[in-house]
Amino acid sequence: MSYTRLNVGAPIALGIAETGVRWGEFLVLIGTIMGLSTVMLVMLLGQSRVFYSMSRDGLLWQWAGAIHPRFRTPWISSIVVGVFVALLPALLPINVLNDLTSIGTLLAFVIVCAGVWVLRRRRPDLQRPFKTPLVPLVPILGILCSLGLMAGLPLSAWLRLFAWLIIGMVVYYTYGVKHSRVRNPAA
């Protein structure tokens, strides 16, 4: 089939459907569902721990860091993230979720690359369990590559990113700044 017809949400499934191999089409669709489930699970586990760490640093409310007495996990954060992970796919089209995930992940890469560069310059004395070679070249290339990929995303993804950043800034400046243990060790 022509590559011009593959500009759809599931090009591999479309290509296999075109061949007539019915079991292959089902296999790809099952793989897609498993892949999305994996992303949701990783998001649930990872983001709840990020909220837990932010709560321990005083950047989020104490409930975000509440640990379940039996399972020793951040249970309230897991529930909150789980609700979002369940609701967003039910309410938003897959391409919007894809763009949000992509731009958020790429922004995190930009921040990590910038952090590596800044820490290497400001605190060269820090103990590092791993080293990034060719600093600042590697972090700069990481930033440029991530920004280049972000530039290819639609304007709507950028607008949603800025909306989430504004929400994050409001939370930070109304709560986090006053309670931050990093800014104010006595907090």
The per-residue pLDDT for range 1-20, each reduced to its tens digit, is: 888 888 887 788 888 888 88
For range 49-65, the mean pLDDT = 93
Residue 67 DSSP SS3: strand
Residue 40 binned pLDDT confidence (cut-offs 50, 70, 90): confident
Q: Is the dihedral of CA 132, 134, 136, 137 positive or negative?
A: negative
Q: What is the CA radius of gyration of the chain?
A: 21
Global pTM reads 0.74
pLDDT attached to residue 156: 96
Q: Which residue has the higher pLDDT, 140 or 89?
A: 140
Task: Dump pLDDT digits (tens) for 127-174.
Answer: 988 888 999 999 999 999 999 999 999 999 999 999 999 999 999 999
d(CA 174, CA 183): 14
b/e sequence 39-76, b meaning 16+ C-beta within 10 Å: ebeebbeebbeebbebbebbbbbeebbeeeeeeeebbb
Residue 74 DSSP SS3: strand
Q: Amino acid letter at 120?
A: R
For range 21-30, the mean pLDDT = 87
pLDDT attached to residue 6: 84
Q: Is the pLDDT of residue 103 over 80?
A: yes
- Please give the span between the terminal C-alpha atoms of the chain, in angstroms, as a whole number: 63
Q: Is the pLDDT of residue 187 over 70?
A: no
Strand partners, 74: 67
Q: Structural domain boundaries of the chain?
A: 1-91, 93-187
